[in-house]
Amino acid sequence: MQGNIISDDDAPAAPPVSTTPLRLVIIFSACLVLLGAGGPLLLRVYFVHGGRRLWLSTFIQLSGWPLLLPPIICVLLFRRRSRREADDGRSSSSIADQLLPWRLAGAIAVLGAFFGVACFVYSLGVQALPLSTSSLLLSTQLAFNAVFAFLFAGLRLTPFSANAVVLLIIGPAVLGVGPSSSSVTPAGESSRRAHWTGFVETIAAAAMCGLVLPLVEAAMSRYGRRRREDNRSYVTVMQIQATMGAAGSAVCLLGMAVTGDFRALPKEAAGFGLGETKYFLVFVFEAVSWQLFNLGIMGLIVCASSLLAGIMIAVLLPLSQVLAVVFLREKFDGTKGIALVLSLWGFVSYLYGENNANKKKKKKKRREEEAMRMTRTRQDQSGKGLLVTAGELESSAGP
């Protein structure tokens, strides 16, 4: 009997859950965001060289979602085949079982339509302001993101997070002091009224973007699958992005039909400053860049948090500044320098605070594990003591 009894100490330990794939997905998503830095630059190129169709430019920001359909289909077919082979053909798993739950798909579609409107407002701001200015203003989305994540996603603000929020509000606000100093501006945007209009429009776009990201995270936690691993698979990320892109594109197509963008497209292409061929090439590369950016942001939301996605958008700020100065010959004056320093200060403050918070969590978890280990050791020792006492009693009661 005793030979068949296995104690807790001798029992095989459960295999640890590896976090390496998840970390790789997060790193991969962050790289996609950085690769998508060309999207804002190409959007600005469109406006600088004669582009005027706002709904068309918004549609390009969202229209790359069909590129996700082939990998989604391939992954779903491969997963269904793998499951059937693992169960010797007895599995009844179908592709429909791997699609987004209908409630989650509906919520994502609504958010996608709202995001399409946010992109339209962003196009209004980019049309009126230089890229370096609009990029700095868009960095305020992190502040809105933190507030809305606190309200809808249960985020707790630390002192460092609060400091980052304040700095990321003050920094871009400095840009409202004076008119744009860009040497590359579309016709009609040099007036102070146009400057302030673009200022307000870009801030509004940042607020709408800061609202969408936490709402996507909240929808995932409420309507997602029960298994956390299924929610965090990258095929889920691609499905969510495709759903948002399709819904947002539908809104843009409706706007294009109402404003007559389809009829004006040939005429605008013929009068584009870089030529008709480059007009369409700008759209193609812009759509791909924005799709990389959007997919990376969605991957960070699903696999990490909406706040990390907002942080990566803020990370693009210095890169956008460099691209605008190099390719669009925009001037970088003292006002933009102050705003950039304050924004980067806020970003570094947030990273420092998150690093300290993670260290505290690890120490707390280590102490809890040590306490549990000591408790088990004491219980094992007391159990062995009882066994020894029982053995001594049996020996003393013997003949």
Find tokens 């100065």 and name the residue.
Answer: 325
- What's the confidence (pLDDT) of residue 4? 43
Report whether 306 contacts 145 (CB < 8 A). yes
Please write the tens of the pLDDT for every residue from 230-258: 556 888 999 999 999 999 999 999 999 99
Find tokens 């960070």 and name the residue.
Answer: 300
- What's the confidence (pLDDT) of residue 73? 92
C-alpha–C-alpha distance, residues 119 and 384, integer Å: 68
C-alpha–C-alpha distance, residues 44 and 129, integer Å: 9
- What's the confidence (pLDDT) of residue 11? 40
> Counting Cβ atoms within 10 Å, is residue 269 exposed (0-12), middle (13-18) or buried (19+)?
middle
Neighbours of 384 (CB within 10 A): 11
- What's the confidence (pLDDT) of residue 20? 46
Please write the tens of the pLDDT for every residue from 191-214: 667 778 888 888 999 999 999 999
Low-confidence ranges of the chain (pLDDT < 70): 1-20, 85-93, 131-132, 169, 172-192, 225-232, 318, 321-322, 330, 336, 380-399
Please write the tens of the pLDDT for every residue from 284-331: 999 999 999 999 999 999 888 888 888 888 777 767 766 777 777 767
Q: Render 231-266 in DSSP notation, one character per residue.
A: HTSHHHHHHHHHHHHHHHHHHHHHHHHHHTHHHHHH
C-alpha–C-alpha distance, residues 225 and 237, integer Å: 13
C-alpha–C-alpha distance, residues 355 and 358, integer Å: 5
Percent of the chain with pLDDT over 90: 29
Helix (H, G, I), strand (E, B) or coil at 224: coil
Mean pLDDT rounded to a whole number for the chain? 79
| Distance set, CA 46 to CA 36, 42, 57, 206 (Å) | 16, 6, 8, 21
Instruction: Look up residue 275 and give its two tokens.
Output: 């030529």
- What's the confidence (pLDDT) of residue 196? 82
C-alpha–C-alpha distance, residues 196 and 175, integer Å: 10
